[in-house]
Structure 1
Amino acid sequence: MAVSLGARFSDQTLLLWVMSTESETPQVVAGEGKKRPDWGNISQIVSALCALALALLAIYGLFFSKTSQALVAYLQSELAARNERIATLELREQQLQSAVSTAQASLDDLTQKKASAEKEIAALNAEQETRSKKLAELDQTLRKAQFALVREKINTTISSTLNGDEVFLEDRLYTPEGVKAKTIRPWETKLAYIKEVADDLPDEYKTIAATVIKNFTEQCGGRFSAQTVQIPALRIPKGTDFGPYGDDRSKHPTAIRYEGLMTQVYKIQQGIQECFRSTTP
């Protein structure tokens, strides 16, 4: 209300001031050489001064009345509340920026730890792969060593034992029965004997012994399994004169033939024996 009143008085004051200014223009009376004061304008000047005084009173009422003071106090409190809210928001912003900085630092630290962990994992995987290879190599070496051990145990036994039917015994020629006709199969005889020796090994070696025999059969059987020696019936009668042979019975043709046939058997046996010793895992 006070603001509206002050605005109205200000407009009236300006209007009166303009009118008074226009009316103050000096008038020259014909025939007279000097100016006369226009007393009719005095009332206008007084009215303008009154309007100005009223405007000043309105302004004074606006800024110094209780209503105005209450309005100013309200505006000041509202301004203080807004300033406090702004300060709170600024503080919150600082806290959030600090939290963001802390989170970023933590994220950077986690990124570094992740990279370091990935490097460690890669190193561990490489080490594990290396150790796995070494373990596989050691396992293979162990298997080869066990294979060689069992093979040597069997070979020692079969090398120190002779099969009488496959050994050259000249005295058989002079017996009443002599040497009977037969087909000697060195591979079958040797393989059967190797299996017999393997069965007599301790239980801890039997699995490996089975592998040795299997590999031996695969690696050597194709070369020796078909080799046979035909032995005919041979006999040197009792009372035969060995004078033509220098009294040396081994020079008799039958003895020479028999020895030659048994030498073939022996060579096949030696080949089988060498092949067994060279059997690989």
Structure 2
Amino acid sequence: MAHPVDADAFAAKLPFSITMPVTEITSRQNPRLKQSIRLRERKGRLATGQFLVEGRLELARALEAGLTCVECWQCPEYAGYERELAGQLTEAATETFRVPKSVFEKLAGREGPDGLIAVFEAPERSPDILALSEAPLIVLLEGVEKPGNLGAIIRSAEIAGADAVIVSGGADLYNPHAIRNSRGLVFTFPVIAMEPQAALAWMRARGIKLYATTPAATLPHWSADLAAPSALLMGSEAEGLSDLWLKEADASIQIPLQGHGDSLNVSVSAAVVLFEAVRQRQVRDRTGH
């Protein structure tokens, strides 16, 4: 069941005025609710080009990035409900739905929701829009299958001051776990999906040296010149990098392991090499070489 909310009563609960319509939905069988629930699955996201965002920080960063907000779902009954953010989402969304907890919990994918979920359009991002630094630092991810790892790598790359993350091999950028583990930085940080050959040509044209990370390498990661324009090539934990990248790389590097474990989580590996690049660049800036 859906019907218009008393706009005056709803607006009175917000810290500023709103102009967009608000509709109340009380049925868990509502077609619009079912349509949005499908976005929790990759198939639904691919079919529509839309995705769900929940969490105050993630929602705020989606708005900061200027993404198109299709709809907003709100439940003021939750203790964590933030009225100012709710007002911003209501203004940004094409449609806003106000629902009780019994309906909201069917859509929410997190424990302890805060009463706000929004649907956004997936942005189209081209590498041509990137404003690269003098010595670009790129992370290229091939076939990283776990969305949580993808999100964590994006977060580390942004914190380390990298220029961009390039994903290849069909990564699910807007999986809820990728969004959450990136802390919403997948929206505000340059993350570009590219086919392998296109990514290779793009980096070669910009004089970026390619470093393949692989356990088969003998060169420690700290011995590579990561202060120069560099791309860190990371593959999946199960398969590693494909032959294309192993062949095309200018050098292969590894993180020397001291214990009995035979590998590191790919997001941990990415952070280790990224911050070695940060260290080398700080030394270069301090000493001039």
- Which of structures 1 and 2 has the bigger CA Rg? 1
* TM value normalised by structure 2: 0.19
TM-score (normalizing by structure 1): 0.19
Structure with the higher strand share, 1 or 2: 2
Higher helix residue share:
1
